[in-house]
């Protein structure tokens, strides 16, 4: 068989296999009961101002509806929210619907988590997926939820 004809076919098969693996992982992880039943609040610009002015530290996840990593991150953040109770605010914001805020905070990829201190100032910005335990370690190292 001609190698020049099989290489594109193998590449396509590899891409399809990877897409299937990511889809199955997303389906499996969404089914885990890792946090409370309540989804993260999806806030807009008005609620964002209230979020910053609350006097509590918080995390905003910038996401998009088509981002599979964002969907995987939501139960991890819900678990963090449950651990800290009312001492730490956790919410999400659609980066496409709130492009101006996403740009203001230099959101280049989704998911992006922005950690705010009690004064509403950015303490840290993390791009990509993290498990709940790692997020908790980061919060503890920053000392924002004492």
pLDDT tens, position by position, 84-142: 988 999 999 999 999 999 999 999 999 999 999 999 999 999 999 999 999 999 999 99
Q: What is the mean pLDDT of residues 50-63?
A: 96
pTM of the model: 0.74
Identify which has the larger pLDDT, 37 or 40. 40
Q: How many other C-beta atoms are found inside a 10 Å radius of the C-beta of residue 95?
A: 23
Q: What is the DSSP string of 89-121?
A: EEEEEETTTTHHHHHHTT--SSSEEEEE-TTS-
Q: Which CATH architecture has domain 45-142?
A: 3-Layer(aba) Sandwich (3.40)
Q: CA torsion sign, 41 to 47 to 52 to 55?
A: negative
pLDDT digits (tens, 9 = 90+) for 11-20: 666 565 555 5
Q: Which two tokens stand for residue 33?
A: 């009961």
């Amino acid at each position: 068989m001609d190698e020049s004809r099989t290489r594109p076919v193998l590449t396509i098969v590899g891409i399809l296999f990877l897409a299937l693996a990511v889809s199955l992982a997303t389906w499996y992880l969404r089914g885990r009961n890792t946090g409370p039943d309540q989804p993260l609040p999806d806030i807009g610009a008005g609620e964002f101002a209230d979020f910053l002015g609350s006097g509590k530290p918080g995390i905003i996840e910038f996401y998009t509806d088509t981002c599979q990593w964002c969907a995987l991150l939501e139960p991890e953040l819900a678990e963090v929210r449950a651990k800290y109770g009312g001492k730490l605010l956790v919410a999400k914001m659609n980066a496409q619907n709130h492009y101006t805020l996403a740009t203001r905070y230099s959101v280049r990829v989704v998911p992006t988590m922005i950690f705010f201190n009690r004064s509403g100032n950015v303490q840290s910005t993390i791009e990509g997926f993290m498990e709940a335990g790692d997020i908790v370690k980061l919060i503890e190292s920053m000392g924002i939820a004492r």
